[in-house]
Structure 1
């Protein structure tokens, strides 16, 4: 696939595509870095980070690697729409890079090995990642202790940005996933969107609360600051500095100003329930 066609297919901003396409990447350099990427993705990332303006270089390489991945999709008879939907993540993260750093490129580069190694696919509204649990996953399910041992094959659910989180759209995604992956593996989601105390901030009919209804909550934690990053686009030590442009921002800021914290929820999707 031609790089220009790929950029068009994922809806990459013209300015970003033009800047990326103007980079002086020789075939020798590309081949050398592609081999490193195939051997050790994170070693490849470390090498690119040494470049000045590394974010635009990262964008260029990820897009070219994605073009190579297109052939694998076709060989496996995976629907072309799934390819475009999955790799549109590059556009979203390029937009985030422009917002956060004032430049086109990719800063969240550690995320994309999943797309390139074909372990993550976007099926409709949601993304589904095939992996093995890297630790024992525990919680309470229907009043009883529940455990998924380390090494168990699972499906990790991600919620990509870009579209409203409509419950009916998510239900269709699960239908696709269950048809494609089956129902033997546990479908798990660890996200701030599943934090139960969001019910104190939002109305029952909000998209986030309706999304929570798709899952059975296994556990909660206060690790990280994902909620604040996603809601406000930044993390501040003093919540008084957060903006209040949306209803969620206003409610979350008030919640935090009262000394409360926003955490995460671990949920399991149980087909047929």
Structure 2
């Protein structure tokens, strides 16, 4: 009887790949194509690469090996399948640390978000962020409320890098609640990061962006949380995040649907740039 109960408990800890797709609400078109892709992947052959893809120390190399293994991989769906397989296996690790399912699902929804961003930019459902998602797979980056938090280092000490997902509720109250929850998360599950510094490297910290906005804007409120360490005036990644197009897009063709888009486009048409900045939370 006890052995039977133990086997059931073990089974409950598993997360199958397509069950994960359902939980993270992966696009139906992508799931449909994945069924055919997965049929042609023998995961045991890739056991070493998949194991190393979930370790941040070896993940970059494992990712490159998988890219070479699949070669011509339409829309990188074979890489996506391998990443989702790793994400599904991570579920047991979350359970072992007693991290809530909500955080697990919210963290792994990065795949749905990235594919959606790619579709908005290119008109194709493709996986173009495999070079980033091994952070989630290695459990060094977590979505907690509005923001994401990545284990990193600052001044040779443990630190937490703050990331702002494209679907974040960026209201000041939501940011504050997310930060509060991240502190509690560290205390419970990663005490070695309790009390460490928070950093952020983003176009949202750019002083040139702040100069375009009212003091009451959520972006300005977010900027005031940080002391700037450096700026990158030539960075153009903000074009992708603000306008949902390639950073190389002719600025004359950029949309003007929001007041911020109109203000930033005017800066670009005048020959200036927004750039980005790196800061440490006060």
Q: Is this a same-fold pair by TM over 0.5?
A: yes
Using structure 1 for the length normalisation, give the TM-score: 0.85
Given that 2:147 and 2:165 are in contact with CA atoms closer than 8 Å, whether structure 1 keeps it comes out as yes
> Cα distance, 1:72 vs. partner?
0.7
Corresponding position of 2:214: 203
How do residues 99-248 of structure 1 correspond to structure 2 at under 5 angstroms? 99-133=120-154, 148=155, 151-181=156-186, 183-233=194-244, 234-236=246-248, 238-248=250-260
Corresponding position of 2:262: 250
- 5+ long unaligned stretches in structure 2: 1-14, 53-60, 187-192
CA RMSD of aligned residues (A): 2.0
How do residues 10-159 of structure 1 correspond to structure 2 at under 5 angstroms? 10-26=24-40, 29-39=42-52, 40-47=61-68, 50-133=71-154, 148=155, 151-159=156-164
After superposition, the C-alpha distances for 1:1-38 in whole angstroms (9 at most, x for unaligned) are 122221111111112111112224356x2122242232
> Cα distance, 1:216 vs. partner?
2.5
Residue 22 of structure 1: SS of its match in structure 2?
helix
> Cα distance, 1:130 vs. partner?
0.7
Residue 160 of structure 2: SS of its match in structure 1?
strand
Larger mean CA deviation between 122-131 and 211-220 belongs to: 211-220
Given that 2:146 and 2:168 are in contact with CA atoms closer than 8 Å, whether structure 1 keeps it comes out as yes
After superposition, the C-alpha distances for 1:38-77 in whole angstroms (9 at most, x for unaligned) are 2342233423551330522222221111100111100111
Given that 2:199 and 2:280 are in contact with CA atoms closer than 8 Å, whether structure 1 keeps it comes out as yes
After superposition, the C-alpha distances for 1:53-111 in whole angstroms (9 at most, x for unaligned) are 05222222211111001111001111111101101101001112223343323111100
Greater helix proportion: 2
Give, in whole Å, the separation in 1 of the partners of 2:117 and 2:28: 16
- 5+ long unaligned stretches in structure 1: 134-147
Give, in whole Å, the separation in 1 of the partners of 2:119 and 2:269: 29
Corresponding position of 2:279: 267
Question: Using a 3 Å threshold, how does the CA distance of structure 1 residues 24 and 239 change in structure 2: closer, same or farther?
Answer: closer
Residue 243 of structure 1: SS of its match in structure 2?
coil
Give, in whole Å, the separation in 2 of the partners of 1:114 and 1:52: 22
Question: Using a 3 Å threshold, how does the CA distance of structure 1 residues 49 and 202 change in structure 2: closer, same or farther?
Answer: farther
Structure 1 runs (4+) greater than 4 angstroms displaced: none
Using structure 2 for the length normalisation, give the TM-score: 0.82
Larger mean CA deviation between 120-129 and 51-60 belongs to: 51-60
Give, in whole Å, the separation in 2 of the partners of 1:87 and 1:262: 30
